[in-house]
Amino acid sequence: MAGAFEGREMVGFVTGLPRLGLGEPCLHSHMLAVVPEAQGRGLSVRLKLFQRRFCLDHGIRLVTWTYDPLLVKNAALNLNRLRARATRYLRDCYGPMGGIYHGLPTDRFEVRWRLDSPAVVRSARGHVPVPTDVAQLLRARPGRLPRVRRLAVEIPAGAPGLYASDPRRARRARLDLRRLAESLFARGYTATSIVPGPRTALYLFER
């Protein structure tokens, strides 16, 4: 566990635990959080980069974690800024939950963060390229998966507020993404970035 402090007050933290079964040392990053009043200062990135340095210093070159793929802000942090890659879809990962997830399957993307990959090394130095052509790519839709190297998947951009304001639409978006992502991951695609928009966002899937 590592914390971010203002004076003696902890305003953010990241915590993980060892993960076995992947054929190499691995840390599973279980939780990252920053208090609302300290958000927007880059603390999430600094905590993750601290975690990266700690792992590399201890011979660990792979970190995994999960996140709600409909949370565009989290997706942008994980895929765009940190250059992790989503490689697996987990159905109802945490089972029934209350709060914003009441009545909604807790599906998650699982990401792999290869700490010594060239893309991650560059991102740790602040080089964060943003794809500019995603809106022009073919869109994947249920029952229509074109055989191309790169394609886009559209999701609504309003989560988590969408979960409370329009739960039926949120559930439909969850299940649509579930069908698409499971099919794409099974075909060897990975989710490599996301392009946020005012009403929708576009995931970039590549293989």
User: What span, in angstroms and rounded, lies between the C-alpha atoms of 26 and 185?
Assistant: 21
Q: Considering the domain boundaries, does residue 51 fall inside one?
A: no
The strand ranges marked E within the chain are 2-6, 9-19, 26-34, 62-67, 85-90, 108-114, 150-156, 190-196, 200-206
- For 27, the 3-state DSSP assignment is strand
Q: Considering the domain boundaries, does residue 53 fall inside one?
A: no
pTM (two decimals): 0.94
Q: Tell me the mean pLDDT in the region 50-76.
A: 98
User: What span, in angstroms and rounded, lies between the C-alpha atoms of 68 and 73?
Assistant: 10
Min mean pLDDT across 45-54, 67-76, 93-102 is at: 93-102
Q: CB-based contacts of 78: which residues, under 8 Å, 6+ apart?
A: 65, 67, 84, 86, 111
User: What span, in angstroms and rounded, lies between the C-alpha atoms of 146 and 194?
Assistant: 19
List phi, psi (to 5°) of 100: -65, -20
pLDDT attached to residue 42: 95
Is pLDDT above 90 for 143?
A: no
Q: Considering the domain boundaries, does residue 27 fall inside one?
A: no
Q: Considering the domain boundaries, does residue 50 fall inside one?
A: no
pLDDT attached to residue 37: 96
pLDDT attached to residue 132: 86
Per-residue pLDDT of 148-163, as tens digits, reads 999 999 999 999 999 9
Is pLDDT above 90 for 99?
A: no
Q: Considering the domain boundaries, does residue 28 fall inside one?
A: no
Q: Considering the domain boundaries, does residue 135 fall inside one?
A: yes
Confidence of residue 96 (pLDDT cuts 50, 70, 90): confident
pLDDT attached to residue 41: 94
User: What span, in angstroms and rounded, lies between the C-alpha atoms of 187 and 151?
Assistant: 13
Confidence of residue 192 (pLDDT cuts 50, 70, 90): very high
Domain count, the chain: 1
Per-residue pLDDT of 123-142, as tens digits, reads 999 998 878 899 999 999 87
Question: What count of other Cβ atoms lies within 10 Å of the Cβ of residue 140?
Answer: 22
**Cis preceding-peptide flag for 96 (omega within 30 of 0):** no
Per-residue pLDDT of 20-44, as tens digits, reads 999 999 999 999 999 999 999 999 9
Q: Tell me the mean pLDDT in the region 44-70.
A: 98
Is pLDDT above 90 for 188?
A: yes
Q: Considering the domain boundaries, does residue 18 fall inside one?
A: no
Place of tokens 């409909």: 70
Rounded to the nearest 10°, the torsion over CA 111, 116, 121, 124 is 60
Q: CB-based contacts of 148: which residues, under 8 Å, 6+ apart?
A: 137, 138
Q: Tell me the mean pLDDT in the region 166-195.
A: 96
Write out the residue range of the structural domain in which residue 184 sits. Answer: 61-206
Question: To the nearest 5 percent, what fractions of the chain are helix, strand and coil?
Answer: 30, 35, 35
